[in-house]
Structure 1
């Protein structure tokens, strides 16, 4: 029997944040897969991923570049951006996706956004 829990891919270069997000998501019923860079995620394939959560400030390709690459390959895949930076330009660029959270973020708000994104993808709306 296949796994029915949604799979969230987390991309961040901070292992503490990855662990924290992994704990949060798994406690809410998600499976997680973690990556330290955009390149690592893109090299792995996204066929089974239901939602992508990525930091903006990644080494190499940043979270915006990752979002754009993912949207070219999998336009239906929801992408949620997170950042610890406080730059106005980030706000403008993040508005393209709709879901953008600044660290520290409210865990329940993030879970709600993830749930809505996964539900919308599965129902086609």
Structure 2
């Protein structure tokens, strides 16, 4: 699992949350640093939308071209309707407003990854 956010506190918090339930987590402070490290070893991406340089929507588009089957969850601290509208119709697994409930995010990820495992024969 990869988490991308330009806020180090959010990265640390999400890393602790996911590791506490047994997920292996790699954290990145930018979309570019994730892309440089590679996408092949991750099974899920959680990314912030509002980041300097490459934003979460740009990262989503690049990731989906390279790995269309990869589950992607978008997070935003900007409570703008435009972000929600822009996310509509995108191939995402979930959209969460910060601060989001850790248990809600975990439940959505667990559900997505378990569905992917069950349907794994054709992927």
Q: 1:65 aligns to what SS in structure 2?
A: helix
Q: CA deviation at 1:124?
A: 2.7
State the match for 1:86 in structure 2: 79
Q: Match for 2:50 among 42, 57, 82?
A: 57
- Give unmatched runs, 5+ long, in structure 2: none
- Residue 50 (structure 2) pairs with residue 46 (structure 1): no
2:112 corresponds to: 117
Q: Secondary structure at the match of 1:116?
A: helix
TM-score where L is the length of structure 1: 0.90
Do 2:49 and 2:57's aligned partners in 1 also have CA atoms closer than 8 Å?
yes
Shift of 1:98: 4.4
Distance 1:117 1:59 in 2: 28
Q: Deviations over 1:54-84 (max 9, x none)?
A: 0001111100000111000000000000010
Q: 2:65 aligns with which of 66, 69, 72?
A: 72
Deviation larger for 92-101 or 32-41: 92-101
Root-mean-square deviation (Å): 1.2
Q: Say yes or no: does 1:37 pair with 2:25.
A: no
5+ residue gaps, structure 1, are: 1-7
- The normalised TM-score by structure 2 is 0.91
The 3-state SS of whatever aligns with 1:86 is coil
Residue in 2 aligned with 1:4? none
Output the CA distance in 1 between the equivalents of 2:7 and 2:75: 12
Runs of 4+ in structure 1 off by over 6 angstroms are none
